Structure 1
């Protein structure tokens, strides 16, 4: 039976709602930079953990392919052949350079920019353009969202948060310009609305009122279009479509539960504020955001994202890990075995959730590769040892094969060099011209 070919930009539509589709065999070549119908587009993600890590349980002992996963990295063992552990990279401009205390603010604001921030708690903040926004300027027109900036903790955009440094430095990893951070979103419901056409604000007034009155699933509004699509695609694509729509609905239900726990109500009048949708449980909050990132990549809604597990200097406790103390206080462990054991638990938990998301990306196929195969995902921190506040020998992972351009499954050790050299190499693989970024000195070798 002949099946029609589907555009990569096809949407399921109905009553003002719009649902993007995952890659399917029926799709024609997208025609946009960075991919094709058989290989898919390349993507970049940057995931940040605050307060450094326990390096003894992070850094592999052996170099090359025969390294053993240290305890913190063990959750990534099934993905060992999909990653690079990079040792020896630094962000020199996160050091004081005469500005005194403020390592937390500098480490975050410098992490993707490689630029030393101006020490101020006033309006005259200045650092540099971050690598994600360099890519978004070039590639943003190829997707509905040029980039996606997510996190778990809000944080202020002004005031003194770290020894005379503005809260903007401690709260933002992405910078659109040297003076303008790209604020992150922490509310899963708002992210969902953004990914799926802002269902609360699109369509005619009658359509919006109908959706708000019954508070129905977004899938209810596109059901007719989905049924029509099923008749035009093959069995494999129908199964993939059903799995994808089931995942979308499951995320909706989890957000709704978060709404109820947060005092949200159904049956909202048009124009009323959307419920908060922020889970009270940290683990569920992280998982929801990660599942939304998977959907955003899977549907090619964006090719660039950033995520922060917490603001730099975060004092969040982790009682569900039997860690009632604040993260930042524990990071100043002074080699106390009890504090180190709790830091290890926090580090391991972050990695377990990260690994869970990566597995979903690896299971999501697009042509000859997986979404993870086509991605380059950096995981790391702008501080190495939280007790020392050092910014050399940073904990850095690069996960994904970059569309086949990376030789993964290795621990690569470098003589000290700027972390931004890695970012230049990633931009090259995204076909984004960039001669210099922050304190970069060239491209990072030994990646392919």
Structure 2
């Protein structure tokens, strides 16, 4: 680490045994302000949930400001003023359009692409909005984008009525034929963010650290101590808080037996370093996203809370049946109640992420949430009907957006119109994404 200048580089890192610990924003690392220039980068994140939602308990009754949060959205109360509820968006290419059944596979494939997937033959989808941004601006960070998930999925074979499993398991596509696989193990994400050197060296050094049962912070302690002596009081406090946060994530990944729901049914092997408790797994991945944004390792992220058509159970909230099975509710009020619990649980994890972003300072003014647009939702509205109009979509954080409202766009407005608007605000405008037809004027301040 080089500390010989009075103003530290934004790329200053703490180094140790196979560790490259990037720093968060601090006054000492802030670039000198040039009149009219932006000093804080924009970020964007996209979160996918499967099987639609129970719309009657999702959709606010009133439009505009001051609406009451429906039961499913109630966990958003601490950040309601930072969230825009958008009703009326459509993913037409999630419909069969002559291609027969396979709604779940299409819902994941189309979520960020707006492109009709090919059922037979070679993979064909479209470039997803996150990768449009990554290809334009990803060179500014160590990782152009990160892709996170919970369930491993498969890249081969048929998973839904003739559609390749690649469609059900991925929402990020770097080309029409290339899905970008997601990482489901928090430990591997952590090592990727903070590892130094080649992948082989990452693994070797990680094994050495684990054998010695030491934190990565132990290996950068000397660098950190030298850095502290060169920081002002505010930056010393920020660095301490950041290092404490990193250590907290480490400790939670080290727990082998605590907090696991041993009765939970999953139909895949859980990798070592992955919590068996679904909620803790989700929250750890949210923490990884926050760390990645905080240290400017990347500015673009996607996160699948579960794969398309997921049938995992939710015993930890009193729902023993599989999610997909329950989504075929047939109007049964008992199934509606259980779907409401599942949907509310997912929104609670989103709220956790948004509150973490909001509590993390970023730049001279504001928080990470102020500079991060988070799009959350599903490409299926009602799991029983498998319909793709009036999608359940939330947009949180970011700048130049009038938040704290419920807005309703015109019927059949393409979801990709929202993506065009998000790309404009991210700083990577394009003429079209998928089946877009224009921007969404309702976002404007």
> Is the TM-score greater than 0.5?
yes
CA contact (8 A) 1:422 1:444 kept: yes
- Runs of at least 4 residues off by over 3 Å: 34-37, 198-213, 258-262
CA distance in 2 between partners of 1:17 and 1:151 (Å)? 24
| 1:330 correspondence with 2:326 | yes
**Aligned counterpart for 1:214 among listed residues 200, 212, 222:** 212
Give the corresponding residue for 2:128.
130
User: Is the 2:51–2:323 Cα contact (8 Å) retained in structure 1?
Assistant: yes
Do the aligned residues in 2 keep the contact of 1:46 with 1:377 (CA within 8 Å)? yes
Which residue of 405, 408, 411 maps to 1:413?
A: 408
Residue aligning to 1:148: 146
1:240-288 Cα shifts (integer Å, max 9, x gaps): 11111111111111112149999xxxxxxxxxxxx72011111111111
Match of 1:385 in 2: 382
Residues 317, 327 of structure 1: 8 Å contact kept: yes
* Aligned residue number for residue 371 of structure 1: 368
Equivalent residue runs for 1:151-230 within 5 Å: 151-197=149-195, 201=199, 211=209, 213-230=211-228
CA contact under 8 A between 2:259 and 2:277: conserved in structure 1? no
CA shift in 2, pair 1:231/1:292, >3 Å: same
| Secondary structure, counterpart of 2:395 in structure 1 | strand
User: Match of 1:317, SS?
Assistant: coil
Please give the residue correspondences for 1:27-426 in structure 2 after superposition, counting only pairs within 5 Å. 27-29=29-31, 36-37=38-39, 40-120=40-120, 124-197=122-195, 201=199, 211=209, 213-258=211-256, 276-366=272-362, 367-400=364-397, 402=398, 404-416=399-411, 417-426=413-422
For the 8 Å contact 1:57–1:70, the answer to whether it is kept is yes
- The 1:205–1:138 alpha-carbon spacing in structure 2 relative to 1, beyond 3 Å, is closer
* Residues 7, 30 of structure 1: 8 Å contact kept: no
> 2:18 matched to 1:16?
yes
Kindly indicate whether the alpha-carbon contact (under 8 Å) linking 2:375 and 2:396 is maintained by their aligned counterparts in 1.
yes
Indicate the residue corresponding to 2:263 in structure 1. Answer: none
Match of 1:47, SS? strand
Q: 1:58 touches 1:70 (CA, 8 Å); kept in 2? A: yes
Q: Is the 8 A contact 2:196 2:202 kept in 1?
A: no
Pair 127,118 (structure 1): closer, same or farther in 2 beyond 3 Å: same
Mapped contact 2:18–2:196 kept (Cα < 8 A): no
1:332: how far off?
Answer: 0.4
CA distance in 2, matches of 1:259, 1:197: 26
What root-mean-square deviation, in Å, do the aligned CA atoms of Structure 1 and Structure 2 show? 2.3
The Cα shift of 1:215 comes to 3.6
Per the TM alignment, residue 7 of structure 1 is displaced from its structure 2 partner at its CA by 1.5
Inter-partner Cα distance in structure 1 for 2:126 and 2:202: 41
Rounded Cα–Cα distance in structure 2 between residues aligned with 1:35 and 1:88 = 36
Return the TM-score normalized by structure 1.
0.91
Distance 1:350 1:331 in 2: 15
**Aligned CA distance change for structure 1 residues 68 and 36 (closer, same or farther; 3 Å):** same
CA 1:397/1:376 → structure 2, altered by over 3 Å: closer, same or farther? same
Q: Give the conservation status (yes or no) of the 8 Å contact 1:200–1:208.
A: no
Tell me the distance in 1 between the aligned counterparts of 2:299 and 2:419.
15
The aligned counterpart of 2:268 is none
Pair 347,206 (structure 1): closer, same or farther in 2 beyond 3 Å? closer
SS in 2 for 1:325: coil
The unaligned stretches of length 5 or more in structure 1 are 263-274
Q: Report the secondary structure of 2:441's partner residue.
A: coil
Closer, same or farther in 2 for the Cα pair 1:259/1:109, shift >3 Å?
farther
Task: Give me the whole-angstrom Cα distance separating, in 1, the residues matched to 2:200 and 2:210.
Answer: 11
Kept after mapping to 2: 8 A contact 1:107/1:383: yes
* Inter-CA distance 199–285: structure 2 relative to 1 (3 Å threshold): farther
| TM-score, scaled relative to structure 2 | 0.92
